[in-house]
Structure formats: structure tokens, C-alpha cells
DNA sequence: ACGAATTGCCTAACAGTTGTAGGAAACCTA
DNA sequence: TAGGTTTCCTACAACTGTTAGGCAATTCGT
């Protein structure tokens, strides 16, 4: 039934690829349409507007990231931490536009019960939770108790995300040693801290 | 000589205020012009375009941040770290649009010697270095040797910036305890790590 | 094989934004 | 009061986001 052509998934995937080439902000409806060989209004058959497109890309990319990360995760404790953090960093360096999408798109608070939640927002929330669960897995593998879980996840996420963000922004490019060299040290110190948190609770 | 009216500084300061009200991305030439009670082309007498405006706001805000932070810095070691980190976090929470400006604006690498560097870009680089020097001051107060200075600054900056970014993005809003409660713990662990780095070098 | 429903894509058109060009008005100084 | 300087304006061109309505291609039921 109907004529075959673009579909929503193809449009979103193309947008994610474009984001890696030109930056997340540069992915406009017009640019994306030109890249796909159609006129701008055509895309409105597949997406409901620019913000829907961005949110959908965010959800799509968050799912990709969770897939990649969970596939790379193996071992326990320090090994698991390194596998987890390297997977995220590799993803961000390989696909900076995609990584940007995971952070740049602000999901409004769900406090308003009357407001209808668009499907793309719901998908982004679900995919975000998938990634949060992976972080939780790493922390739990250190034997950190439930009381400290949230804290440990926030500490670990902040450090990993912060380092990757500043690294991609070029903040580390103007001083020695190269960013590549200090990353393992960061993970070493993060490992020590997570170990300390786990040890401190079994008094 | 000449008719008094807007000048470049007033335009940039107004843009920074607007960023706090509506978000950094929402500050367009047209919106800013309307807010200042003039027509859009008028602004081109004071700024050379949209990217120049954004870069100039970044430089302006980086200077404000360095002023605020250096004014708040006092003490040594842990006290200094807390004063430094709290100043940045308070700034970011009080002025989220301004804080966004410090990170969202990408300064291209200065590798090309033939390219002329616009004044706003040079100002942003200088202001960025001011902030980097403040971070260095904190690290040095721990007695960390020059060999480890860069590493310690990267670690500290990544953690502080990452936590603030995720906090403002609302990532911590959906779990207990409140973000307010885990921040001091983060600084505690950061203090321990900086102390360890300092201790490890005098073997 | 044919009609009908379905679906994809198009043109036309409008509002809003960025940016350029050139001119008129307001102000300070002499 | 005249000159020079600077501010601000209107007019215009190009591009992006978005809506409305229509043509055309494909698939399904018969």
C-alpha cells in the first residue's frame, strides 16, 4: 500500500550522519532535505518539525550509544570501568555530532501532567534511562551499596562526560601531555575513588 | 564627536543578559535588536555578524567568570578548592545562559598562521587562559609538582564542569538525593584525589 | 488487468532571520 | 552656526521553517 520512499527511520539516521559531518547545530530541515534529494516540505511527512527532528535524533543516538557501550562492557571492577568509559569516549571521538546530540538536546521536565508527551521525547527518556542503567551496572560491580549508588554514578558520569566534552572542545589541545596520555590516569583515579567508596561502607 | 547611543560593550552585555533569560541559542540578532529598541541592521554597526556576537559574548562572560572566581578564591588546599568550585557552580546556576556561552562557543584551532584572528576570538582565548590560570593556582596550592600540574587541572576541570553541566541539564533531577547534597561529596573526593597526587610525587 | 485507496513528493506561499547598501538624522566640536 | 562623525533607518536579497493543497506513483482487492 502506497509508494515506497523515505521513512522516519531513514530520515533520522541521515540526520545523525549529517550531524557527524557538519555538527549537530548545522543539521537543519533544508540541509537535510537537500542531502536526501527531496524538498524541505517533504520531510514534514516523516517528522513533525525541527524540534521533533532533533529530539528524535537524540533518542536514536542514545540508543546507539547504549548498544555500543553494553556490547563493549565486560569484566568487573576496574576492567569494567575502563571498558565502559573507553566505549563512551571512542563513540564521542568517532561521532562528535552524535555525542553532541546526547547532551545538547534539553528534555523539558515531565512535571506537567496535562501536557502530552511527544513520542520522540518519550523515546529519548527511555533511551536515556538505558544509559543510566549501564552506569549503575559499573558502579554495582564495585560492590557499592544502594545508599551510595546515586552518588557514585553522578561522580563517574560527571568525570567521564566532563573530560570527553573538554577534550572534544579542544581545551586540552594547547598543553602537554596530549589528551590521550592523561585519560588512563583519569580512569586510574576514578577507579581508586570508586574502590574507596565501596570500602568505606563496609566499616 | 558623533551621536551617542549604543556601543559594542552595551550590545554584548545586553546579549549576555538575554542569554540568561532565554538561553544562549535564542539570542539572535533580531531578538537582541528588538530588545534594545533598534532595528536589526543597526547592530551591524557594533558587531560584524552573528558569529562575532556569540564569540564576543563568550569572551565577555569568560572574563566575568574569571573576575568572580578570583574574587571568591581564598585559603589553601581544600578551602581554596571549595571556594573555587563553589564560585563556578554558583555562577553557572545564577547565569545558565552565560555559563552555556563559555562552553558552547567553539574556538577554532589557531594552527593556521595565514588566517587572521578576529579580535573577539583573541579576546576569548585570552579570557580562557585567565580561567585556566585560576585552576592552576588551585592545583599548585596542593603542592602538586609541575610534572602533574596539567593532569591535575584536567581532572579537576573535567569533574567540576561535568557535574555542573549534567546538573543544569537536569540529569540529576530524577533521582535522590538532590543534586545539592552530592556536590560536597564530590568536592571531598576531589580533595582526596588531589591530595593523593601531591603525596605520590614526594616519594 | 483494472480501479481505488494510500502514500510520497511536489509547488506555492508566508513569516522570520541574517546580512548588505545607501541615505537621513542627531550629536559634539570648533 | 557649520563640519564632521557616528547612529540609526528603510529597502532589499537570500535562506530557513512551516502550512496548505495537489499531482503522481505504487500496492491491494477484485
DSSP annotation of A110 reads T
pLDDT score, position B80: 98
pLDDT (tens digit per residue) in A41-63: 999 989 998 999 999 999 999 99
Geometric angle at alpha carbon A61, from A59 and A62, rounded to 5°: 65
pLDDT at B104 over 80: no
Residue range A6-23: average pLDDT? 93
User: pLDDT band at residue B2, thresholds of 50, 70 and 90?
Assistant: low
Give the best residue of B171, B191, B195, B196 to mutate against chain A (max A CB count within 10 A).
B171
Write out the residues of chain B at the interface with chain A, using a CB-CB cutoff of 8 A: 103, 106-107, 109, 150-151, 154-155, 157-163, 165-166, 169-173, 175-177, 179, 182, 185-186, 189, 192-193, 196-197
Q: Are A132 and A152 in contact (CB under 8 A)?
A: no
pLDDT score, position A157: 98
User: Please, what are the domains in chain B?
Assistant: 58-201 (1.10.357.10)
Higher-confidence position of A120 and A78: A78
Contacts with B103 from chain A: Cβ below 8 Å: 165, 169
A182 and B150 within 8 Å at the Cβ level: the answer is yes
Q: Are B156 and B135 in contact (CB under 8 A)?
A: yes
Please return the burial class of A95, using the count of CB atoms within 10 Å of its CB with bins 0-12, 13-18 and 19+.
buried
pLDDT at B188 over 90: yes
Q: Are A138 and A149 in contact (CB under 8 A)?
A: no
Nearest nt to B53, CA vs C1'? C18
C-alpha cell belonging to residue A95: 561521532
Q: Are A201 and A152 in contact (CB under 8 A)?
A: no
Residue range A62-86: average pLDDT? 97
pLDDT at A111 over 70: no
Question: Which residues are within 8 A (CB) of B168 and not within 5 positions of it... i.e. 6 or more apart?
Answer: B92, B93, B96, B99
pLDDT at A5 over 80: no
Contacts with A177 from chain B: Cβ below 8 Å: 150-151
| Cα gap A191→B12, rounded to integer Å | 44
pLDDT score, position A33: 93
| Cα gap A27→A19, rounded to integer Å | 6
Q: Are B183 and B89 in contact (CB under 8 A)?
A: yes
Amino acid at each position: 500500500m502506497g509508494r515506497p520512499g523515505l521513512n522516519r527511520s531513514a530520515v533520522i539516521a541521515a540526520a545523525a550522519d549529517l550531524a557527524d559531518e557538519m555538527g549537530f547545530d548545522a543539521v537543519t530541515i533544508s540541509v537535510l532535505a537537500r542531502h536526501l534529494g527531496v524538498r524541505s516540505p517533504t520531510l514534514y511527512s516523516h517528522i513533525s518539525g525541527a524540534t521533533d527532528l532533533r529530539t528524535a535524533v537524540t533518542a536514536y543516538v542514545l540508543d546507539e550509544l547504549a548498544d555500543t557501550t553494553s556490547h563493549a562492557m565486560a569484566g568487573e571492577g576496574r576492567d569494567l570501568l575502563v571498558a565502559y568509559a573507553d566505549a563512551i569516549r571512542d563513540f564521542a571521538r568517532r561521532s562528535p555530532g552524535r555525542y553532541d546530540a546526547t547532551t545538547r538536546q534539553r528534555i523539558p521536565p515531565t512535571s506537567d501532567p496535562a501536557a502530552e508527551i511527544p513520542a520522540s521525547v518519550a523515546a529519548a527518556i527511555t533511551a536515556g534511562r538505558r544509559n543510566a542503567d549501564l552506569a549503575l551496572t559499573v558502579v554495582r560491580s564495585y560492590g557499592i551499596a544502594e545508599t551510595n549508588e546515586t552518588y557514585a554514578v553522578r561522580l563517574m558520569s560527571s568525570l567521564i562526560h566532563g573530560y570527553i566534552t573538554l577534550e572534544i572542545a579542544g581545551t586540552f589541545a594547547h598543553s602537554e601531555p596530549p589528551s590521550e596520555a592523561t585519560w588512563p590516569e583519569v580512569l586510574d583515579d576514578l577507579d581508586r575513588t570508586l574502590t574507596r567508596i565501596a570500602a568505606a561502607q563496609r566499616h
